[in-house]
Chains A and B, each alone.
Chain A
């Protein structure tokens, strides 16, 4: 494990540095977008993706907790949610900035904007619930239950609302991902950024889980 932790973060750091450089210099300015504003997409899209990925990790850990009742599964769920909260805030902010530059206002009620904010609200609610419960076991099982409940209703926002929305409001907004046929260099940069942000998520996640394992082991020794 020590060998791994020696080079892995360095590689990640180098990768992200390359991604940042590529976002500004390698990828061309997108047509149809105002000036260089499209470049934020290389960060915004992966952040939104990680926010959703974190939600999925949280779901899996929550289900595992309800079966195993092991505190580490709860720690994994909480860690994923914490990271998910951070990334959904980042995604909302970057999306908002982009919307301001492109369309002149910070908020446009685009269905995807709304769904990332709802995800943010779910994470915030998750932590509000954890704060409100004193008993550790009950805290774990209640937050796991809430996470599962939230997860089953999420697809409706992400997939169904856009379809309904379009059918009732024909004057749609262009979604922030840009046109489908991107230039190859843009695609490469975007994919590289996606890989980088995903790796970043898993690295932060593993650090936190490792810490939780150490804490738990220490509590077990003290508890006897």
Chain B
């Protein structure tokens, strides 16, 4: 029987995916390119001065999350499809426990999202003149939101990898489920930008954390079904 635990097996999956990605750079290129292109387009056309002062809080928060999510989606959706394309999915299916596979892939998607945020957020704030008053609340939002988005994206990526695997299908399936998270993230970002108090983002944070929790629990039960069928 197994000597190790679920955590080390998940980390093995994560390490394998990171190593693979480092050498092929498929997801990183797609995500980075998308992010930088949209960022530059938005910054060039809109920039810090073209938005009316009243509209700035709404627009700047919304634009940030649009750029982040759609750039991420191009990378997040591939995490299982690449295994099916390379014919390694069945090998992995027989070698690893479903829980470890899901956790490892989820962690990989989290790393991808984190790298994207580290790249995009400072650039965005600089290029668009976006001053965020509550940095700590904003970071809390980023962490919670990333977990929620990654959890949803990972389970849907698993579902589409067993279907046609297309990016379009990923978009169709994920939009209804990701929309609530994005709505709360945008509202929370607006609140964090306006005030440095943690209390300002608490409603949004509560909603995001509970969404993340509920999605993770559902995914934990559903993933073995999706993976093994």
Provide the bound-state CA to CA distance between A133 and B229, in Å: 12
Decide: A161 and B225 in contact? CB cutoff 8 A. no
List chain A residues, Cβ under 8 A from B187.
164, 168
A156 touches which of B164, B203, B207, B229 (Cβ 8 Å): B207
List chain B residues, Cβ under 8 A from A160.
180, 207, 210
Decide: A145 and B225 in contact? CB cutoff 8 A. yes
Given A164-B184, A164-B204, A167-B203, the answer on whether A138 and B176 have CB atoms closer than 8 Å is no
A118-152 interface bits toward B, Cβ cutoff 8 Å, 1 = contact, 0 = none: 10011011001100110001100110111011101
Q: Which residue of A lies closest to B217 (CB)?
A: A152
| A153 contacts B by Cβ under 8 Å | yes
List chain B residues, Cβ under 8 A from A168.
187, 191, 203
List chain B residues, Cβ under 8 A from A129.
159, 163, 169, 172-173
Provide the bound-state CA to CA distance between A153 and B204, in Å: 15
Decide: A128 and B177 in contact? CB cutoff 8 A. no
CB distance from B161 to the nearest CB of A (A): 10
Decide: B207 and A164 in contact? CB cutoff 8 A. yes
Decide: B180 and A157 in contact? CB cutoff 8 A. yes
Provide the bound-state CA to CA distance between A129 and B160, in Å: 8
| A66 contacts B by Cβ under 8 Å | yes
| B51 contacts A by Cβ under 8 Å | no
List chain A residues, Cβ under 8 A from B169.
128-129, 132
Decide: B207 and A142 in contact? CB cutoff 8 A. no
Question: Could you jot down 8 A-B contacts, CB within 8 Å?
Answer: A118-B179, A125-B173, A138-B162, A144-B225, A152-B217, A160-B207, A164-B207, A168-B203
Binding site for A on B (CB under 8 A): 152, 155-156, 159-160, 162-164, 166, 169, 172-173, 175-177, 179-180, 183-184, 187, 191, 203-204, 207, 210-211, 214-215, 217-219, 222, 225-226, 229
